[in-house]
Amino acid sequence: MLAFFHTIIYQPLYNILIFLYDVVPGKDFGISIILITIFLRAILIPLYRKQIESQKKMQELQPKIKELQEKTKGNKEQQTKQMMELYKEHKTNPFSGCLPLIVQLVFLIAIYRVLITISSNGLSVNSSELYSFVVNPGKINQFFIHLVDLTKPSIVIAVLAAAAQYFQTKMLMKQQPQNTQKEESGKPDMAQMMSKQMLYLGPFLTLFIGIRFPAGLSLYWLVGTLFMLIQQIIIEKKSSN
């Protein structure tokens, strides 16, 4: 599995990042990270579009799901069976939203490994990892716009990444139908409670990771989140037309 990750994910990203560093004027490692982030997000647009569409379908199905849960409250086996039939009928999958998160995590780990490897090598590129057509630039300039050392934590970029995460989550919540009613047990809607918790938990985790890990990782997360925000706005406008 590690060999697969190294060959299929890590090494291609390593080479793309070094290639971009070579060809982009100014030899700015931060610009290279921004470009590779946009490149990865652009490739994954179809996957994220399906995720957003799946989330909308799941929200539209919530009244039917609750109704079904009430009817089959005493029979978990029957409830599961009818739930699967409901998903099949409406051509949706409750787990489809997990795939983009897994892919995102895999790329995040790969980018982190690239940054750590370059940093631990004294900001030098490992020639054995490069493809034949990628030129070794020698020592890497680790500064972004001559100010931010991308191999060390940056509070400013971490805060910006956390803020972007907050606004992205808030936008997703606005697109979801609000249910002010309580369940029969007297408890508030659990889905809405989880969404509200994620509104603050997600940015907090982003900030926590950002102030402890290399700034290059926070920059990657910030650009990726901003890309997602713009993508959500475009998809929302298209769906409303």
DSSP-derived secondary structure for 26-76: T--HHHHHHHHHHHHHHHTHHHHHHHHHHHHHHHHHHHHHHHHHHHTTT-H
Q: What was the pLDDT predicted at 196?
A: 67
Residue 5 Cα distances to 10, 73, 109, 112, angstroms: 6, 43, 10, 13
pLDDT in tens, 63-102: 777 787 787 777 777 777 877 887 777 777 766 667 777 8
Q: What was the pLDDT predicted at 177?
A: 52
- Measured between alpha carbons, how far is 82 from 76 in angstroms, rounded to an integer? 10
Indicate whether 187 pLDDT > 60: no
Q: What was the pLDDT predicted at 184?
A: 47
Q: What was the pLDDT predicted at 239?
A: 65
The pLDDT of 117-128, averaged and rounded, is: 84
More confident residue, 105 or 193: 105
**Which 8-state DSSP code applies to residue 92?**
-
Average pLDDT, the chain: 81
Query: Rounded to a whole number, what is the largest CA-CA distance in the chain?
Result: 67
Taken in order 222, 223, 229, 235, the sign of the CA dihedral is negative
Q: What was the pLDDT predicted at 191?
A: 52
The pLDDT of 15-27, averaged and rounded, is: 90
144 three-class SS? strand
Residue type, 162: A
Structure tokens at 2: 């590690």
CB 218 within 8 A of CB 154: yes
Q: Comparing 5-9, 25-29, 124-128, 180-184, which segment has the lowest mean pLDDT?
A: 180-184
Q: What was the pLDDT predicted at 195?
A: 60
Residue type, 102: I
Range of the domain at 198: 2-240
Q: How many domains does the chain have?
A: 1
Q: What was the pLDDT predicted at 241?
A: 61
Tell me the β-bridge partners of 201.
Answer: none
The torsion angles phi and psi of 187, rounded to 5 degrees, stand at -90, 150
- Measured between alpha carbons, how far is 128 from 135 in angstroms, rounded to an integer? 12
Q: Comparing 23-32, 83-92, 108-117, which segment has the lowest mean pLDDT?
A: 83-92
Q: What was the pLDDT predicted at 176?
A: 56
The pTM is what?
0.77
CA nearest neighbour of 179 among 167, 168, 187 = 187
